[in-house]
Amino acid sequence: MKLTREQQAKVEENLGLVYKVLGDKLKGQSSVGSYTREDLFQVGCIGLCKATATDKGGTFSTYAYRLIWHEICDVLVKANKQRNAEVFDDYERDIPELDDGEHRAEINFDVVRELVSVKAEAPPHVVKGIDAMLLMAKGYTCREIGEWMGASDNLVSAYVSKARKFLKGRPKSAQMMEIYAA
């Protein structure tokens, strides 16, 4: 993004706004996930530059504050989705074979494909629920899944419930889940 000299000056004048957003939203945390406060400051500066470049008048600080925070949130959500995908890949590798005579359920690959495509658009708590549903389809209990996820079995059930509600709002997903449940 190319800023004019006036826009560059406006960014420099309003750098304190990025600190204000971080102070208000992070409430003393020195890091969020793998991002340090300095990393998030840099991301916030990108939001400030975007606000400066798209400013159409009005109260700049209110507009910029929102864009700075949204830029930070976008980066954190994206990082969380990537981390969840990596964690699920680890679950898949680390899951032991069931040795108590139970048979793993056959997974309908159309359903799996649909769930994977939905995961790309879903919020983090729904992604965890979809991951849990996939593991349940392989024959694992909430308690076993919770151990791998580092969550209680009740929390795993809550993730699954939220994922099912999310999937019901998507006609194709809801139809496939009904077929699969039958």
pLDDT tens string 64-94: 999 999 999 888 877 776 665 655 555 555 5
The domain in which residue 33 lies consists of 5-78
Same domain, residue pair 99 and 165: yes
CA separation for the pair 135, 48 (Å, rounded): 42
Crossing angle of helices 153-168 and 124-137, in 10° steps, is 100
Q: What are phi and psi of 35, to 5 degrees?
A: -95, 130
pLDDT of residue 52 exceeding 70, the answer is yes
Q: Does residue 86 fall inside a structural domain?
A: no
* pLDDT confidence of residue 83: 63
Global pTM value: 0.49
* 5 Cβ neighbours under 8 A, 6+ residues apart: none
Q: Which of 45, 78, 111 is the last residue of a domain?
A: 78
Between residues 105 and 120, the one the model is more confident about: 120
Integer CA distances (angstroms), 68 to 9, 15, 28, 138, 153, in order: 17, 11, 18, 42, 37
State mean pLDDT over 154-179: 78
CATH number of the structural domain spanning residue 64: 1.10.1740
* pLDDT confidence of residue 85: 60
Same domain, residue pair 145 and 173: yes
